Structure 1
Amino acid sequence: MAELIDIQSMISESIVKLGINIKKDSADRKTPDYFKRRLNTLEEYWREYEGNHDRITGEISQAHPYFGLKEFEKTLHAYEHVKALINQQYDALVTRSDKPIEQAKTPSKSTMSIVQSEEEETAAVAGPSSQNNSTHKTHTGTNSKADDLLRRQQANFKAFLRTTVNIDVEAISEKWEFEDVLKTLEARWKTIDTLHWEIESEIDENNETYNYMFDKYEKQFNSLKKAINKKMWSVVHRNKSTPQLEIPTFTGNYNQWVSFRDLFTEAIHNNPSLSNGQKMQYLKMETISLRVYSRHREDVPPGAGK
């Protein structure tokens, strides 16, 4: 859930950055298509943010800082501000325009905020990353190839997300488990990264939605990889640095029980690198037999070993 909250933070920052970039862009770049693409990008950000927010609301306490800091309300305000900015500048462009034919080809002022463009319909099939391709491919590649690459990458993103959701770093305790999880994670990311370089040569470099998606998952990959390596190093270091305690064999004599119990608990029972089966095997090795223990158990006075 912490990773999902981090994603929310990145989406919020992307919405704010989108508004800043619109203000910075020169007037000659701001065509009707420019505003249509920016609006589609903004709506894609907001749809993902809302979906994530619903998951967070159902899974964590309202006492969490995410709610206390009113992150949702702040992002909603930023979304509405950027949307108003887009519509305001678009309306100003239409008002200044002296080309009625071109105006007729663009959405009316009253429908600009809810129009479903052909690009957005394509994005619904191929994934959000394909929405900016159709107007830029005369010099960067064919639409069909770019769309196919983006559809494949969208599937890769989904597979990567399924993998990361199933990784609970805190629940892993053995070195081989860390290595196995890390191998799977790196294999998923290698597939994404390899295809990314091919996509870069086919789509417009200003495809904000795809760039945002790739950057988001790249940060998630690096963060999770770092957490796995850190925890794995901690476990390996602890196992290597922990002195090997010699546990005396328990013969059933109650006078030996307290010292045996304390040493066994410290060296074996609390060792996170050992499975329950291994711990049981050690217990059997360090006692003469369960039958001996059972025979002597009745001799243990009440309260002994407490």
Structure 2
Amino acid sequence: MKPLVILAYKEYPDTAVEAEVLSVLDARIAQITDFTTDDGTAAAREADALMVTTRPVSAELLQLMPRCRIISRVGTGVDAIDIEAATRQGIWVSNVPDYAIDEVSTHALTLLLAHARRLPALLDSTRQGIWDYRIVPPIVRLKGQTLGVVGFGRIARALAVKARGLGLNVLAYDRYVPDGDVEAEGVRPVSFETLLRESDFVSLHTPLTDATRGLIDSQALALMKPTAFLINTARGALVDEDALLAALREGHIAGAALDVLQVEPPPADHPLMHEPRAWLTPHIGWYSEAASREMRVKGAEEVVRVLRGGEPRSRINQIEAAPMPVRTTDQFVETEI
């Protein structure tokens, strides 16, 4: 029987990108987002692989999928997947950690520059017919200011290169990266508290875990300069939104730019949507056409690897004994982006 690959997302107009990669398996492809229907449940029981974007993958869903061999996260974050349940069931979990490094780092830098040059306020004022730069607070020269990055993975390193090219000093806090590796990038490793105290801009680039959930809370915000600007292009739950709102309203920090929130899309009455010092973008930091295609290709490639009897390139968990591979129609060759 041909393997069945379920695409549990419908963000894209067709499945041509995934189908091209999965063609070496002669796989059947089904787009299903509702597994509570009879058709959805029946497909889940037959599925050999599940590809997901942001939908939760619970232990209950996995119990419906006795044949499943891999959950391929078409994206980076895996906090919505029950990895322990998948591992117990012998299912690989993979992700695509390297598809939008340039896009996310550029988005973070764009938000930084927009604040540094007071662009939103100036654009609003000129639309109102006001031709006077003095309506904004005094602008400090960018060169010589300090950017602090929380987390020092691929995206943070790319941002550091771009920021240093503009004359910013860069600090980094990452408990898992040796100081020597940080220093080799021309960045100064510091403690979390030092980073918050010294940075003019704080940009978050750490995964969401139990340890980092609510990392930016009232205590962290209290350590920041009153002129500091917070940027989050990582995961919404890294920030205590109530604490951030209070800090903005009370003037403890100058502003914040968030590309991610705890709940997306936010309700229309979400207070941060109406706070002048908070800028929100609709989780677009990852996006370009090239990044979108690369993400889908690499997610499908992980399915091919596993269903041919191998291991994922970017595995999140470890499965002791992989099942026998399915039959394929052609030799698998990775698609270049």
TM-score range, shorter chain: under 0.3
Structure holding more helix per residue: 1
**Higher relative contact order at CA 8 Å, sep ≥6: structure 1 or structure 2?**
2
| Larger Rg computed on CA atoms | 1
Structure ranking higher in strand proportion: 2
Q: Using structure 2 for the length normalisation, give the TM-score.
A: 0.25
